[in-house]
Amino acid sequence: MAKKKEIVQEDIVEEIIRADYSDEMSSSFMDYAVSVITDRAIPDVRDGLKPVQRRILWAMKQLGLASAGDYKKSARVVGETMGKYHPHGDSSIYEAMVHMAQDWYFNHPLVDGHGNYGSVEGDDAAASRYTECKLAKISEDILLSDLDKEIVDFVPNFDNKEKEPTVLPAVIPNILISGTDGIAVGMASKMPTHNLGEVIDAVAALLDDPNLTTDDLMEYIQGPDFATGGIIVNKSELPEIYRTGSGKIRVRGKVKAEKGERGKINLVISEIPFTMIGAISNFMNNVAKLVQTKAMPDVTDIKNLSGKEGIRIIIELRKDADVEQNINMLYKKASLEDTFGYNATLLSKGVPSQMPLDRILREFVEFYRETQLRKYTNLLAREKKAAEIREGLISAIDVIDTIIEILRGSDTVAQAKACMMKGDTEGIRFRTPACKKIASKLRFTEIQADAILDMKMQRLIGLELNVLVKELEACRKNIDTYSGYLSSKTKLNKKLRQDLLEIKNKYAVPRKTQILDLEAVVLKKPEIKEEKVYALVNRFGYVKLIDSATMERNSENVFKDYRHVLEVMNTGRLYVFTEEGKCHQIKAKDVPMSRYNDKGVPLEQVSALTTKENYVSVVSDFKPKDRLLFATANGNVKKVQVSEFDSSRRTTDATKLQQGDAVAAVVPLSGKGNIVLITEGGFIVAFETGSISVLKKNSVGVTGIKLNKGDKVIFACETDENGCFTFDEKEYKLSDLDCGKRTTRGKPMKR
């Protein structure tokens, strides 16, 4: 039997650390905020990349996804990035990679995507298992070149099993070329794209004169150059924006008028504001709403013909339309002109800072010069080592017989190596004293000795000696060149400008975005032909307007189909009264003109009425001197002139209510009939309209009926000239009823 193992439980020492809750929360939140700022959302000013972007590009390079090679599944890149370098969600990694492949965000995409990578209209990319990708050529040239020359620092990844670069060795200011958009904790960064040729010209100028200011640099960089084109309309404000690192850039889409079919006019939108990416459908909906509300009555059709060739949205106008007014409506009301919030908050040595343009370029130039100095320092060391090796090989060929004797006569590699380096011949068996004498004079360096020991026999061929001599000459030439760059700032600057010019010649494209100073859009106030219309409100609280002709055609049914039928001028107002004693004002022009059978729009959509409020009546100001009867649940009544509610405010107090009271009815009065009040308990009073005075809207009113305990007024109306009225879908005549007088408890109503 196996022996039972004794389990020894060690004493556990419990230590309680006391901490102030607010201090602990503050410390933890600050740690979190710094982590988000430095490791997630804010890009580095040197290479213009956020960590996830940098890691994606590095992972693609490690996978061998060169621009000249084959595509590989995007899921493979996402897995490599997440598993080795970026331990966060795969969706965020894929989203960042897709973004770098979309040419409507970037003038020069950093990833070459193959498959469905979404669209400028907002369509999502296909899943990562369907799409493929590889590095774009420009990424290799401006961000990933020379990484093998140790020109940037590498650090361990999150599990200390891989190495990753702290920054990519950018050779142009990628933060300006590619832009960025990131939201951190307590700060954000939003940079537009710029024209590559202009930015390189500015860097070259700064190399010549490090004291250039932002204003000086803007002689080269005109302003943003969006991939979607458009027109920047506040050119005069750009210098201040670039000096402070923050501001609002106003961008318009590009639209022109063309002749359409049958004499109509087409407004053709060929470029959109950068902010409209993914929101073209919203723009189309905005235009449709403007047409529906008669703000753009000249529009007869709208079509989106955008595709791979670019943006093409056609808005068809009537042939007699005011083109300028309709274009201005698109700018002002449909977001064809929008604001880009420039915010140059970037990381410098791990610290976020809002940077002016000159600092962005100056920090890049400092980084660029530093990486190139490291590059040429390492190249110089390599060339010196290569020259040393070739000098040794050439010398070795001259005494190759002696070298062979040393190798044949040595017992160990170390013994042979010592002989070649120090001339130590002890223990080595030589065939002739002459060889031993030559061997004793050998003084190869360790690097040369290793190279000789690794030398292949084919190097003994005569032509190989010529190759070695030529290689040595090339090495010495490179040593002179690299030494010149390292010893002379002028020579280095000349080389840097030369490299920048090569990038410019290879990748520069004409500017897409125009930069102008244009006046703000001013809309002409439309001349409204004043006419009488009818407002119809159904029992579900939907309102619409119909014209007089429609009203005449449906006059027999309209009062049966709708709860409120109101005459109103198209320049007039409607008033919605609620149980809570509020009056919500509606401009008639805000209510859509409709056909008779159309549903209309909810009152909440065209007024400040909320879904929590119960409206009791809707009246119009068709006759401003008309009077309204207010009746409350507690039996108070008053007359108020309609003009009392004409206000610049959308919502006002309609009446003063006592505690526990509510508005039961608001009734327009003609003055030709009697007022009738009916309670929930079935009591009725009737009295002449003239028996109550006209009061101000903020008054409580006078007693209309005294109520029995628990009873309340539920109905109020004015009879017609014949004393008739309708209650609960049944018509009554006062002469047939026994009604109480005002201020009494009323008489039971016989139904």
Q: How far apart are CA 675 and CA 629, in angstroms?
A: 9
Q: List beta partners, residue 727.
A: 730
The two tokens of residue 140 are 């290799």
> Beta strand 683-688 with 747-748: parallel, antiparallel or unpaired?
antiparallel
Helices 90-101 and 51-62: crossing angle, nearest 10°?
80
105 is catalytic: no
d(CA 101, CA 218): 29
Catalytic residue among 32, 85, 94, 130: 130
Q: What are phi and psi of 80, to 5 degrees?
A: -60, -45
Backbone angles phi, psi at 418, to 5 degrees: -65, -35
Per-residue CA distances from 79 to 41, 75, 323, 583 (Å): 21, 6, 53, 61
Query: For residues 386 and 370, what is the distance between their CA atoms, to the nearest angstrom?
Result: 24
The torsion angles phi and psi of 728, rounded to 5 degrees, stand at 55, 45
Long-range contacts of 496-499 (CB under 8 A, 24+ apart): 496/207, 496/368, 496/369, 496/372, 497/204, 497/207, 499/171
- Which two structure tokens, joined as six digits, stand for 156? 């361990």
Q: What is the dihedral of CA 37, 38, 43, 49, to 10 degrees?
A: -140
3-state secondary structure 563-617: CEEEEEECCCEEEEEECCCEEEEEEHHHCCECCCCCCCEEHHHHCCCCCCCCEEE
3-state secondary structure 373-436: HHHHHHHHHHHHHHHHHHHHHHHHHHCHHHHHHHHHHCCCHHHHHHHHHHCCCCCCCCCCHHHH
Catalogue the active-site residues: 130
